[in-house]
């Protein structure tokens, strides 16, 4: 695996530690929020605001990274903010402070995302993007397996002691920050000769970006608009009568599948085409959500979560590989940041909308709406002219 360089390994370990911290808390987040008085609508709104915060900052800091010619400082600051947000969630229990702490976490993600993915792109060739991004997603998601397992073990011996978990999650967050200081910027990266970007200057990139970029991103964003937070899948498990241990266990299982298949599917995408693998993931996603609308048997739910893990492995790293393959190298962080910014805003709308639909019409309508939308997006990509993908799959 000579294409997995030292830098890719370090970034992957940083992501592993960070996901250990974040995913230790994610499965119990809806339960914890409900225990301190959050309604399902407020939970959806919280997730939406958090993602919007990340989104706007992703665009700006991606542009700023390209402008400055630096990557590593953005990675270091971003992971540090996410780390300190964990104990804040335990200390502050009032809704306004929870919103603040959650936003700090997402803001950190916004600062680091464009720069981190640009580093990964620089460490790969167009023919190895699937492998490099797939490997990073596998390591990242391995943290999402270790984190919930740690939470499950802790809650087994300390039922309902959610606050302490937030404090424990601070430890792997700190390890991620320490590891980030092993990274070094490449010396040949020069600042761009232009005025320092304003906060919304990344929006101009949409007008000047390659046509292929806009066509691909439009499809990705429509899908995102209907793909709400995973919290709703976990709440569906609770509605099916599963206790906290089963909910966390199902989430661990999903992440284990994701971690196991992200790298192999990245290798496959480099061989047969990013488009083919991504569309397959969308079709699988549609089937999973349709099944979630009606399933209430634990065996069927586990099969669906297996499918959901395969979907994530087939799409999340692949979409990043797409973006970096169809844009100029000097604009990599801007392109990723702009896409991620729009994506986060769509996620905000999706989570808020899903919360309202669930509250008014129930989970069946929520999941079926998402399923149909994903299938339509898959059809869009199938019929998009082949030459719009040539740069992606060559």
**Burial group, residue 59, by CB count within 10 angstroms (0-12, 13-18, 19+):** buried
Give the chain as a 3 state SS string.
Answer: CCCCCHHHHHHHHHHHHHHHHHHHHHHHHHHHHHHCCCCHHHHHHHHHHHHHHHHHHHHHHHHHHHHHCCCHHHHHHHHHHHHHHHHHHHHCCCHHHHHHHHHHHHHHHHHHHHHHHHHHHHCCCCCCHHHHHHHHHHHHHHHHHHHHHHHHHHHHHCCCCHHHHHHHCHHHHHHHHHHHCCCCCCCCCCCCCCCCCCCCHHHHHHHHCCHHHHHHHHHHHHHHHCCCCCHHHHHHHHHCCCCHHHHHHHHHHHHHHHHHHHHHHHHHHHHHCHHHHHHHHHHHHHHHHHHHCCCCCHHHHHHHHHHHHHHHHHHHHHHHHHHHHCCCHHHHHHHHHHHHHHHHHHHHHHHHHHHHHHHHHCHHHHHHHHHHHHHHHHHHHHHCCHHHCHHHHC
Specify the pLDDT at position 53: 66
Q: Note the CATH number of domain 6-184+205-393.
A: 1.20.1250.20
Sequence ranges of the domains in the chain: 6-184+205-393
Euclidean distance between CA atoms 173 and 134, whole angstroms: 22
Specify the pLDDT at position 392: 41
Query: Which residue reads 């919304």 in tokens?
Result: 200
| Positions in the chain whose pLDDT score sits under 50 | 387-394
Euclidean distance between CA atoms 51 and 45, whole angstroms: 10
Distances (CA, A) of 340 to 108, 177, 210, 234: 14, 22, 17, 24
Half-sphere exposure of 389 (CA within 13 A, CB side): 18
- What backbone phi and psi angles, to 5 degrees, belong to 161? -90, 70
Euclidean distance between CA atoms 278 and 284, whole angstroms: 10
Specify the pLDDT at position 374: 92
**Pair 257, 363: CB distance under 8 Å:** no
Specify the pLDDT at position 270: 86
Give the Cβ contact number of residue 219 at 10 Å: 19
User: What predicted TM-score, i.e. pTM, was given to this entire model?
Assistant: 0.79
Specify the pLDDT at position 394: 37
Give the Cβ contact number of residue 282 at 10 Å: 24
Specify the pLDDT at position 192: 58
Q: Could you read off the pLDDT of 69-90 as tens digits, one per residue?
A: 889 999 999 999 988 888 887 7
């Amino acid at each position: 695996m000579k294409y997995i360089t030292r830098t890719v390994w370090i970034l992957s370990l940083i992501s592993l530690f960070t996901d250990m911290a974040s995913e230790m808390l994610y499965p119990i987040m809806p339960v914890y929020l409900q225990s301190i008085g959050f309604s399902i609508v407020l939970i959806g709104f919280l997730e939406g605001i958090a993602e919007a915060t990340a989104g706007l900052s992703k665009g700006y800091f991606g542009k700023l990274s390209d402008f400055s010619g630096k990557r590593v400082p953005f990675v270091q600051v971003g992971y540090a903010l996410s780390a300190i947000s964990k104990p804040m969630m335990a200390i502050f229990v009032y809704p306004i402070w929870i919103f603040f702490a959650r936003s700090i976490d997402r803001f950190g993600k916004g600062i680091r995302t464009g720069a981190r993915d640009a580093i990964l792109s620089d460490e790969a060739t167009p023919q190895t993007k699937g492998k490099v991004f797939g490997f990073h997603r596998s390591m990242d998601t391995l943290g999402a397996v270790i984190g919930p397992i740690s939470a499950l073990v802790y809650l087994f011996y300390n039922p309902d002691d959610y606050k302490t978990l937030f404090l424990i999650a601070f430890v792997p967050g700190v390890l991620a920050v320490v590891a980030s200081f092993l990274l070094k910027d490449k010396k040949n990266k020069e600042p761009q000769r232009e005025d320092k970007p304003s906060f919304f200057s990344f929006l101009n990139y949409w007008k000047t970006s390659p046509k292929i970029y806009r066509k691909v991103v439009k499809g990705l964003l429509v899908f995102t608009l209907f793909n709400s937070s995973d919290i709703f899948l976990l709440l569906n498990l609770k509605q099916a009568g599963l206790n906290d241990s089963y909910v966390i266990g199902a989430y661990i299982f999903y992440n284990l599948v994701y971690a196991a298949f992200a790298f192999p599917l990245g290798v496959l995408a480099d061989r047969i085409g990013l488009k083919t693998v991504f569309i397959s993931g969308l079709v699988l996603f549609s089937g999973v959500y349709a099944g979630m609308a009606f399933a209430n048997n634990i065996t069927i739910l586990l099969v669906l979560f297996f499918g959901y893990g395969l979907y994530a492995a087939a799409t999340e790293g692949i979409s990043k590989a797409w973006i970096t393959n169809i844009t100029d190298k000097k604009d990599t962080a801007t392109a990723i940041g702009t896409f991620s910014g729009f994506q986060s805003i769509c996620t905000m709308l999706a989570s808020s909308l899903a919360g309202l639909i669930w509250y008014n019409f129930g989970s069946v309508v929520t999941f079926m709406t998402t399923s149909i939308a994903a299938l339509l997006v898959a059809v869009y990509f199938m019929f998009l002219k082949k030459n719009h993908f040539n740069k992606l799959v060559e």
